[in-house]
Amino acid sequence: MHAPTSTFPQRVSIAIHDKRLQAALDHASGGFVTKRAAQVAALPEFEALRERARSVKEHVLAHLDTYLLRYEEQVTRQGGHVHWASTAEEAREIVLGICRKVNAKTVTKGKSMVSEEIGLNDALEAAGCEVIETDLGEYIIQLAHEPPSHIIVPAVHKTRAQVGDLFDEHHRPLGYTKHLTEVSEMVNEARQVLRGHYFRADVGITGGNFLIAETGSSIIVTNEGNGDLTQTLARVHIVTSGIERVVPTLDDAVTFLRLLARSATGQETETYTTVSTGPRRAGDLDGPQEYHVVLVDNGRSKMLGGPFREMLRCIRCGACLNHCPVYTSIGGHAYGWVYPGPMGSVLTPLINGIDKAYDLPNACTLNGRCQTVCPVKIPLPGLLRELRRQQFEGGLTPAPIRFGLKAWAFLARRPRLYHFKMRIGIALLSRFARGRAALTWLPLAGGWTDTRDLPAPQGRTFQQAWSARKGARP
């Protein structure tokens, strides 16, 4: 992984003061939320689909080795190759090995979060390959040398003016000299530039939204058709996918497909759903000559055995990002790695180490919207709480917070003392407020009141008010 050079609070501060980013985030998140809600309202079976999807994933996870072996057997039967990578490094080595074997110079790529996770582009470029991202959003951030800021719309943080400038810089040497201001012109220019790459690519790499044990197939969904051109026109097709993506049958995949587009972009279905099984058949006029699948573990099998198992149900739809008040305020880059938002705050510490991403599980208000919209019902707030607990147990929580938590625990276990202290505290604050509705400054708590006001207590504690109310009722 790239170790970020700044801290999470520094990145958050930059993001919150970035007016262009804030405008882009406001524009994007509202649209996704509204469109998703409309799709859910139009499908009475949505809740039943979520429940079925949850059960299918739980069933697969309980038999993960068996399903992966079935899948491998079918891929092999269809003339494909399955490679197993227990770490990101192994995954990169496997892909590089295939590329070397076929003497690959040019590699086109459809969108794949696993390839981001394993840092594949840098490794391919270091090995001398030209790598071209073909999803328009991924292409834009590749030109900008940035990581994705959203798992579904990777360039969501870029304005059209920024894209116009990037195209000026990178397309001018190719003979495209007109400065573009309209989205339609930009899409068209990218289409022309990328067409050339598809046809000369040696290797095409895509992700895999679902792997089908029944048939040995991999499924991708796109709106642009870039994944299809990538995998059909290259000599060799490589699928990079997490081991948790296997589902038993084509019918099961349909359950997830019904949830994925609606949850992700608020579409009824994506434009292209593509089921790929093995390489070009005898007599076929097109298609890749080789078909490889790289199954990436990278910490997933460890998650299977502990309290984070439910995270392995994730289908990477991004709904939790779109509905998260923290993500929609700070964007994806502040999270510091490839997976942002609630799902990223769980995955990043689990994949990179719980000590490497202290802030992420704590940058959550536990409001629960992510869990409410998750198509596979992952209890994200619960998993984030569990990470906080493990951080505390592992001694990673900073001393002032540990002290505060311990002090609170001491009091909370002693109700009489707690109530006594609370009465004093509330009375003091109330006097300090002297009739004001909110306190803008508190002695010894300037760090807290610098950025927010504390509503002034009205004189009695909740417990006192409650007792009085009970007393007043017969």
Q: How far is the CB of 256 from other proteins (least distance, A)?
A: 9
- The residue among 93 and 202 lying less far from other proteins, judged by its C-beta, is 93
Q: How far is the CB of 336 from other proteins (least distance, A)?
A: 23
- The residue among 50 and 369 lying less far from other proteins, judged by its C-beta, is 50
Q: How far is the CB of 49 from other proteins (least distance, A)?
A: 6
- The residue among 188 and 467 lying less far from other proteins, judged by its C-beta, is 188
Q: How far is the CB of 96 from other proteins (least distance, A)?
A: 11
Which residue bears the tokens 């290259």?
Answer: 234
- The residue among 42 and 424 lying less far from other proteins, judged by its C-beta, is 42
- Taking alpha carbons only, the member of 250, 227, 205 closest to residue 71 is 250
Q: How far is the CB of 427 from other proteins (least distance, A)?
A: 52
Q: How far is the CB of 44 from other proteins (least distance, A)?
A: 7
Which residue bears the tokens 């022309």?
Answer: 192
- The residue among 112 and 255 lying less far from other proteins, judged by its C-beta, is 255
- The residue among 12 and 383 lying less far from other proteins, judged by its C-beta, is 383
Q: How far is the CB of 188 from other proteins (least distance, A)?
A: 7
- The residue among 100 and 436 lying less far from other proteins, judged by its C-beta, is 100
Q: How far is the CB of 212 from other proteins (least distance, A)?
A: 10
- The residue among 63 and 419 lying less far from other proteins, judged by its C-beta, is 63
- The residue among 218 and 391 lying less far from other proteins, judged by its C-beta, is 218
Q: How far is the CB of 129 from other proteins (least distance, A)?
A: 20
Name the phi and psi angles at 83, rounded to 5: -120, 145
| HEC secondary structure over the chain | CCCCCCCHHHHHHHHHCCHHHHHHHHHHHHHHHHHHHHHHHCCCCHHHHHHHHHHHHHHHHHCHHHHHHHHHHHHHHCCCEEEEECCHHHHHHHHHHHHHHCCCCEEEECCCHHHHHCCHHHHHHHCCCEEEECCHHHHHHHHCCCCCCCCCCCCCCCCHHHHHHHHHHHHHHHCCCCCCCCHHHHHHHHHHHHHHHHHHCCEEEECCCEEECCCCEEEEEECCCHHHHHHHHCCEEEEEEEHHHEECCHHHHHHHHHHHHHHHCCCCCCCEEEEECCCCCCCCCCCCCEEEEEEECCCHHHHHCCCCHHHHHCCCCCHHHHCCCCHHHHCCHHHCCCCCHHHHHHHHHHHHCCCCCCHHHHCCCCCCHHHHHCCCCCCHHHHHHHHHHHHHHCCCCCHHHHHHHHHHHHHHCCHHHHHHHHHHHHHHHHHHHCCCCEECCCCCCHHHHCCCCEECCCCCCHHHHHHHHHHHCC
Single-letter residue type at 367: N
Q: How far is the CB of 113 from other proteins (least distance, A)?
A: 15
- The residue among 228 and 330 lying less far from other proteins, judged by its C-beta, is 228
